[in-house]
Amino acid sequence: MLKSAGVYRAETGRNDLSSPKRILLIIGGGIAAYKCLELIRRLKERGHNVRAVMTQAAHHFVTPLSVGALTNERVLMDLFDLDDEREIGHIRLARDNDLIVVAPATADFIAKMAGGHADDLATAVLLATDKPVLLAPAMNPAMWRHPATCRNVAQLEADGVRIIGPAAGEMAERGEAGLGRLVEVPDLVAAIEGVFEREAPQRGSVLEGRHVLITSGPTHEPIDPIRYLANRSSGKQGFELAAAAADLGARVTLVTGPVSLAEPRGVRIVRVKTAAEMLEAVKAALPADIAVFAAAVADWRVETIQTEKIKKSEKARAPTLKLTENPDILKIVARQGPERPRLVIGFAAETQNVIDYAKSKLKSKNADWIVANDVSPSTGVMGGENNTVHLITQSGVESWPEMSKVKVARKIMERAAEQLHAKRTAAE
C-alpha cells in the first residue's frame, strides 16, 4: 500500500494479465471441440501462449493439423511417443504452464479425472500437474444430470478444479435441449483470465484486522416439501467479493444461500436456505467493519408452507399462494445502532431504470453505497463471468466498464478499504 500525507490508496501496479500466460489446452472428444479453434485464436490475440493436447476421441471432430496451425506448436497426443517424451515429457508438460484448460470436457473424461486415471497423455498430465485446472463441460443434458456425473463434478470441485458451464440451449441431436452446451468462447476466455486474476499475488494487508461480512446467492423459500420460490442467482459475484476481501487480509464471513461454487480459501462460510435463516446468520456474524449484501434474497415467501406436496388435479383449479414479505436484511442492518457496520454496501439487480432505482434504494435502505447492475437476460450477468456495474454513493454515480466479476470484486473491496481508511483518518 502507499501512504502519504494522510492519503491512502490500494497498491495497483501492472495488471497481472500484462505478461503472456502459458496455457495448456486439452481438447476432449465432443462435437463442441470445433469451438477450441476459435478459443485458441482469441487467446493468441491476447498474447497468451497456447499448447494443445488432443485426446484420441478429439480426432473425430478436429484435426491436429488445424489445431497446430493455430497454436504454432506441435500438437501432443500420445503418452508413449518416444520423441515427445524425450523432448518434453508428460511431467514437464504438466508443470510448464500457468493453467490447464479442458474443453470440451465430456462425461467420460470427467469420470476419468474424478477417478484419478492416467491411461493417456491428457489424464496423466492432469494427475501430475500442480497448476490451476479449468474444466468446461459439454454433453447431453441427460448425461449432465446423471447422478454419476453429479458425483464426479462434486469430487472435482472438492479437489479444487474450477468449472465453467455448461450452458443451456439446443444440442447437436435433434429435439434435444437443456443444460449441456459448451459455454461460448467469450465466456470461456473471461473465465480463463479470471483464473489468472485470482492467482495474482496478494495485494497486501490493507484490511488486516477488519471483519468483512458478505451475503451471496439466492434464498429458497419453501412452498411445500419439493417446491420453492427463488431468484436466479449463481452467487459468483458474492463469492468473488469474499475472495477479494480475504486477499486483502480481512477476516471474512460469507453467508450464502444454496449455490454450487468452490469455497474461497480463508473464508468462513455459513450456508443457509431461507431469508429468515440468512437474517439470523447475519445478526450472529455482527459486528463487522464492512457489510456487503450481494445476495439475491427472495422478496416474498408463502404465508403457510404445505407439509405435503401440492397435487395437481384436472378437476381442481391451480392453487393460490398467499405471500408475505420477507425481512429486508440490508435495511435492518443499515438502520441498526451501535452494531451497524461502518460501511454498508447493498446490491441492486435491475432490468430497467437501473441507476434511478439504485439511487432510491440508497436512500430508503440507509446504505452507504449501492452497487447496481442490469440483470436483463440479454446481459448474461446472471450466471455469467462478467458484470457491468454502477457505484452509487452520496457523492454521485460512477459507471464502470464491463469487466470480470473477479475485477469488480477487487475494485469494490479496494475502494471499501480506502473508505474505511478515510473515515478513520477523519475521526483522528
Q: Which residues are catalytic?
A: 231
Rounded Cα–Cα distance for residues 11 and 95 (Å): 30
CB half-sphere exposure, 236, CA atoms < 13 A: 21
3-state SS assignment for residue 293: strand
Q: Could you tell me which residues are beta bridge partners of residue 170? A: 177
Conformational region of residue 281, where left means phi above 0, alpha means psi within -120 to 50, and beta covers everything else: alpha
Rounded Cα–Cα distance for residues 412 and 418 (Å): 10
3-state SS assignment for residue 21: coil
CB-CB contact of 354 with 379 (8 Å): no
* DSSP string across 355-403: HHHHHHHHHHHT-SEEEEEE--GGG--TTSSEE-EEEEETTEEEEPPPE
DSSP assignment, residue 296?
B
Beta strands in 259-382 (DSSP E): 267-271, 290-293, 300-302, 323-325, 343-350, 369-374
Beta strands in 217-250 (DSSP E): 221-222, 228-229
Q: Could you tell me which residues are beta bridge partners of residue 24? A: 51, 100
Residue type, 177: A
Please name the residue that has the C-alpha cell 500442480: 130
